Amino acid sequence: MENGAGVRVEFARDARVGLCTTGPKSLPAKYLYDAIGSALFETITHLPDYGLTRADKRLLRQCASTLPPRFQAAKVVVAELGSGSGSKTRFVLEAFSAKRILYYSPIDVSCEALRLCERELSDIAGVRSHVGPYLEGVASLKESRPDNTPLLLLFLGSSIGNFDADERAAFLGQIRFHLRPGDHILVGFDLVKPRDTLLKAYDDPTGVTAAFNRNVLGRVNRELGASFDLASFSHLARYNERHQRVEMHLRSEKAQQVQIPESGATCKLAPGETIWTESSYKFRTQQIRQLMADAGFGHIDEWIDDDWPFMEGLWAVAP
């Protein structure tokens, strides 16, 4: 597993930029997933109203066997952005025989998630983890794999929905830059569905999602030396119909002034002021096809779940 020292430096910078400003406050969603956050999210995936992960698994089980025939090469590298524990990935890796996988490379900012992933999947393929940002991991794969070895890149669970429109287009374009002709990418997209269905998925009555959301400030405390009082924040989930996104916020219930030593700055919050912690965009199928085409990917196949509208799509890098 590669050194993730740069992750903390980036975290301190993002906390300073996002929290220590006079304007609207925010933190990138990736910081929700430390060891505690990853464990809480794993619990969320089992909640009755959160159907996304179950739909993702059903589609992966359905489409996995169709993936190996797409590759003519004897060896294939399978890599994954934001692997989490890797439990869903097992369907894909098992579909490739041991003779066809060179190695599996999970890429994640969470060291704990990667440790879980290594334990979960090391019986199927050699695992070479990369701790750090997604693009950094994909760039390293471009340099480390043999020229004649194609890549299947996985971006599952609708993680693409955490990017806004401009970020999404730029991110996919950068991914395309680091891939080679013959490489493929399998991406999960959560589809538009009724407002009530979405809000129940992101604001469960047991309070697990609220704990997951508050934990990001707990992480600022643990890693950056801050002293946020988590009990003084309430969890908010909103659906923005115009932008097709669920927004998660933390609302300050009182006036607060919190030092963040590692960021060298102070976060000042008024009563009722919020910190925007996650956007989860929902998509329509035509929007998805256009997005991927604009980024330079050719459409190969797609699968849509019947119970929870969710799409798994496969695209190829054209010669």
Residues 77 and 173 in one domain: yes
Instruction: Walk along the chain (319 residues) in steps of 10 and give the mean pLDDT of each run.
Output: 64 96 93 89 94 96 93 89 84 84 85 82 84 89 87 94 94 96 96 96 97 98 97 98 97 97 96 97 97 96 97 92
Per-residue confidence (pLDDT) for residue 258, from 0 to 100: 97
Is 47 among the domain residues?
Answer: no
- The pair phi, psi for residue 181, each rounded to 5°, is -55, 135
Range of the domain at 200: 14-32+196-281
Number of independent structural domains in the chain:
2
- The pair phi, psi for residue 287, each rounded to 5°, is -60, -40
Per-residue confidence (pLDDT) for residue 98, from 0 to 100: 67
Q: Distance of alpha carbon 174 from its chain centroid, rounded?
A: 16
Residues 146 and 64 in one domain: yes
Per-residue confidence (pLDDT) for residue 102, from 0 to 100: 80
User: To which H or E segment does residue 188 belong?
Assistant: strand 184-190
Per-residue confidence (pLDDT) for residue 72, from 0 to 100: 84
Label residues 36-47 b or e (16+ Cβ within 10 Å = b). bbbbbbbebbeb
Residues 267 and 129 in one domain: no
Per-residue confidence (pLDDT) for residue 228, from 0 to 100: 97
Residues 76 and 153 in one domain: yes
Residues 67 and 89 in one domain: yes
Residues 309 and 272 in one domain: no
Per-residue confidence (pLDDT) for residue 2, from 0 to 100: 43
Q: Name every residue whose Cβ is closer than 8 Å to that of residue 220 and which is 6 or more positions away in sequence.
A: 15, 19, 27, 226, 228, 260
Provide the H-helix boundaries in the chain. Answer: 5-19, 35-44, 52-63, 89-95, 111-121, 134-144, 165-178, 195-202, 208-224, 285-294
Residues 215 and 111 in one domain: no
Is 45 among the domain residues?
Answer: no
Residues 82 and 140 in one domain: yes
**CATH number of residue 150's parent domain:** 3.40.50.150
Is 42 among the domain residues?
Answer: no
Residues 110 and 173 in one domain: yes
Residues 298 and 222 in one domain: no
Residues 118 and 159 in one domain: yes
pTM: 0.90
Residues 62 and 127 in one domain: yes
- Count of residues making up the chain: 319
